[in-house]
Amino acid sequence: MDTWNKASFGKYFSVEISEETQGKNFTTIDEFILAGLTDVSKIQCLLFVLFLCIYATTVFANLFIIFVVRFSPNLQTPMYFFLANFSFLEICYITSTVPKMLSNFLTTCKTITFYGCVVQMYWFLLLGGAECYMLAAMAYDRYNAICNPLQYTIILSRKVCIQLISGSWLIAAVNALIHTVLTFTLPFCNKKIDHFFCDIPPLLKLSCSDTWFNEIAIFMISGLVIVGSFILTMISYIKIISTIVNMKSTTNRRKALSTCVSHFTVVVIFFGSGIFMYFRPKSSYSMAQDRLIAVMYTIIAPLLNPFIYTFRNANVKIAMKRLMRQMNIAQKY
């Protein structure tokens, strides 16, 4: 029987092979082939232009939010500190998948090396997991701003904000490492990934061995990350809604709602597509459908997020106008 995957993974991790896989032909995997979004060659260039524009717009818009928050005195609060960090996370998140997809639109050899696939999956899972808990931290921020306004800056001090963000990255890093190791120690009989990036479900379909343990790990471990952070977010919003309902002033009620609608919209888009993608039995996977869902939470969501936050946030719009005015004055002199 030939070895599978790369030597380093086989050296440090052992995989138990079931009796039903003993007769199958395992080969060394040096690279994978990415199927991409579509096999229709006539629209490859069109898709390249479309997603290049989306990627450039997403990066520019999120960089602009970071710039505005950094240089606007009126935005030096925990809410905008989280927003700036979330924008940085979004830039990294979309960069983990889109550049490789763009390069594959322009070539007939849509390959990714074994180690390249490992790195892409790890960073994608890391950034996606960090985003889950970052959204939960931002919901906690809104909870304190609305339910504990007098103690808001005390509860969410700079130190606490940094701890929440660091905790998000740490939990996500552990989750990503576990799933990456479990996935790439499987024996693969095929190297064509029916997706546009290296993700867990399409790679499980390439395995010759039983993947029940990996599926259980997705439900159990990822459940703590995705569902756990979603529950924490919903707890914050249940308390927020309860507080808003009990407000006597219509003006205060409307103002409180306006600060939460943007964030809640992002939560629904991200968690909705993510839960649908990862918390289904393997038998129900449809790669054509899953590619469209993946586009939603890996590409469209990062594109919409900066516009959702800026268009519905009066303080950000005021800060943008002020900075633009200052830049125009500086250019004149």
Report the distance separating Cα 330 and Cα 296, nearest Å.
40
In a domain, 20, yes or no: yes
Tokens 């693969």 locate to: 188
In a domain, 155, yes or no: yes
In a domain, 1, yes or no: no
In a domain, 186, yes or no: yes
Any idea what the CATH number is for the domain that residue 173 is in?
1.20.1070.10
Over its length of 333 residues, how does the chain's per-residue pLDDT go in tens digits?
A: 344 455 444 444 333 434 444 445 555 678 899 988 877 778 889 999 999 999 999 999 999 899 989 888 888 899 899 999 999 999 999 999 999 999 999 888 889 999 999 999 999 999 999 998 999 999 999 899 888 888 998 999 999 999 999 999 999 999 999 999 999 988 888 889 988 999 888 898 888 888 888 888 877 877 778 888 888 888 998 998 888 888 877 777 777 777 777 777 788 878 877 777 666 655 555 666 778 888 888 898 899 888 887 766 777 778 877 877 777 766 665
In a domain, 2, yes or no: no
Report the distance separating Cα 306 and Cα 45, nearest Å.
27
> Are 262 and 309 contacting, i.e. CB atoms less than 8 angstroms apart?
yes
In a domain, 170, yes or no: yes
In a domain, 297, yes or no: yes
In a domain, 173, yes or no: yes
- Give the range of the structural domain holding residue 31, as residue numbers without chain letter: 7-332
- How crowded is residue 268: how many other Cβ atoms within 10 Å of its Cβ? 10
**Total domain count, the chain:** 1
